[in-house]
Amino acid sequence: MKTVVSAIGTVLVGVVVVGAAGLVLHSAPKTPPTLAATVTGSSSSIPGVTKTATLDLSAFPDSSEIKWRRSNNGNGPHEDWVSYGPTTNLEIPAHTLVTVTIKQYDSGEAIPNPFLAEVHGTVGGTATVDGKVVTKIDPEKVGHTFTIHNFPSSDQDPLFVSVPLPAVDAPDEEISSTGKYRTVTFQFVTGGAGTYAWNCEFPCGSNYAGFGGAMSTFGYMSGTLKVV
């Protein structure tokens, strides 16, 4: 598994370089809190995997639902920016089968690189969208992606996972965290301890070909994933 993932990661350096560059440059007024995966079991049918766990996230069309950014019960900075929630600092146990569920509330459009409309790095190479098993989605109707990749390092196991999130098929004014959403579920396996970058690879920000604003500011469409 490590050899395959490493090979894929090498080929895809060009694909994620923009997102990785954004992670180097990002900054934020507050540090996102840590969301730890919920351990649900102490064993797995996959060799070398000793636990099972779940992780629940959402992709919002704005930041009004992100409570950790608020001060004195008011609104946080850049409330109109798209954002993952409830936070972007994630923690997952090592050697674990992780089931991720993402509620996607945002609209979307064509993704510049159709490769990122495909599912990569998950168990079986699949995800489920609203209960339907898929290996890819329509590249013309992508909302976001959830993409995990290595920081430059040779002393931790490689990890590359990229799952596209389909757009909500509704006018923008009807999209909110209390409205219509798409449910995307997938599984991946962690190796040993390490720290990884994750981000959206759909240019949903401002300026810089869509990679500015929320895309280049830590805590909105990018974060870290620690395997512990």
- What are the pLDDT digits (tens) for 127-182? 999 999 999 999 999 999 999 998 777 789 999 999 999 999 865 555 555 568 99
- Write down the pLDDT at residue 60: 93
**What are the DSSP calls for 112-163, one per residue?**
S-GGGGB-BSSGGG-EEETTEEESB--TTSEEEEEEEEE-S-SSS----EEE
- Write down the pLDDT at residue 72: 60
- Write down the pLDDT at residue 4: 41
- Please say if the pLDDT value at position 89 is more than 90: yes
- Write down the pLDDT at residue 74: 66
Place 215 in a pLDDT band, splitting at 50, 70 and 90.
confident
User: What average pLDDT does the chain have?
Assistant: 84
Residues 97, 46: Cα–Cα separation, whole Å = 8
- Write down the pLDDT at residue 176: 56
- Please say if the pLDDT value at position 14 is more than 60: no
Given CA atoms 93, 98, 104, 110 in this order, what sign does their dihedral have?
positive
Contact 126, 161 (CB under 8 A): no
Only one residue has tokens 């500015």, namely: 212
- Write down the pLDDT at residue 91: 98
- pLDDT average, residue stretch 65-90: 84
- Write down the pLDDT at residue 6: 44
Q: Is 148 exposed, middle or buried (0-12, 13-18, 19+ CB in 10 A)?
A: buried
What are the boundaries of each domain within the chain?
2-227
The percentage of the chain sitting over the pLDDT mark of 90, rounded to a whole number, equals: 61
Per-residue pLDDT reduced to its tens digit, 31-71: 899 999 999 999 888 999 999 999 999 999 988 888 888 76
Residues 181, 60: Cα–Cα separation, whole Å = 10
Place 79 in a pLDDT band, splitting at 50, 70 and 90.
confident
